[in-house]
Amino acid sequence: MTVESLINKLDELYPEMVELRRHFHQYPELSHQEVNTPLTIAKYLESLGVEVRTNVGGQGVVGIIKGGRQGKTVALRADFDALPLQDQKDVPYRSTVPGVMHACGHDAHTSALLVAAKALSRHQKDLKGNVVLIHQFGEEVTPGGAKPMIEDGCLDGVDAIFGTHIWAPMPVGQVGVKAGAMMAAADKFKITITGRGGHGGAPHLTADALLTGASVVSHLQQIVSRRVDPTEAAVISSGTFHSGQAFNVIAEEAVIEGTVRTFSKQVQETIITEMERVIKGVCDSNGASFSLDYEKGYPPVINHEKETAIVRKCAN
């Protein structure tokens, strides 16, 4: 088997990949609620004669293609959960599930890996080593499916692992690859601010949780610009803000949820400390109290030099 023959086979299978992707796009499933998607994945792999493990760490699926020649074991990884968003496209393959859609490309990741499995399985006897096919559930939430799948042995005996992520800002036909830190650690936070509600016409008798929350969101943005070394990378993004129940009533509570992205453990700890300090300061000045639930996610993706060079060579 040559690289050229494998590429030709993948080109031949491209229409099938598109068909698979559109199927997954029509029938998305949320994180940790995946039922039919892993069944479809397992059935497809089994039809290729691939050895399959299901319910790996939960809803994960792992296949293995055992090569006919001695060699290393390489894992290829994709994810298959969707997001709680409404699909507003007007296309035949739009999501059939209200409020759920593939908006992050996991349908494409899964389809690409399945077609890669089909191409590789047709050259199984020529493979030098083994290929492990990792289909991960629950990637969009913290904690996700990676840790329980690893604990359930999906990486046992694996010498190297490769994964990919489609990226809309990249021009079509280009591949982005980088040695070292590539994707940041993704943490999640939830801030609950408790004030004292009251009539909208008598704000002086209240502790406005909505106003306090708005100030907190604004002040959080100053942490990266004024408390983090400018040579380091960090992001604090507030994604949701819920407060109030009526237009003429001062809100008693505000709930803010968001994410923090970092590459450095030190920067991560700095941000946590500064978030607590900033939130406390704003709440104290407004006569409100707060709680901060900070959940550390997975560490950043660090690409090894050797494996990165292989990807770069193949992309060229």
**Residues 6+ away with beta carbon under 8 Å from 162:** 74, 75, 76, 77, 307, 311
How far apart (Å, rounded) are the C-alpha atoms in residues 287 and 291? 14
Asked about 139 being catalytic, the answer comes back as yes
Opening angle at CA 66, ends 60 and 67, nearest 5: 140
How far apart (Å, rounded) are the C-alpha atoms in residues 281 and 311? 48
Amino acid at 141: V
Q: Out of 29, 34, 79, 81, which one is annotated catalytic?
A: 81
CB 81 within 8 A of CB 34: yes
Q: Out of 29, 34, 87, 139, which one is annotated catalytic?
A: 139
Asked about 81 being catalytic, the answer comes back as yes
Residues involved in catalysis = 81, 139
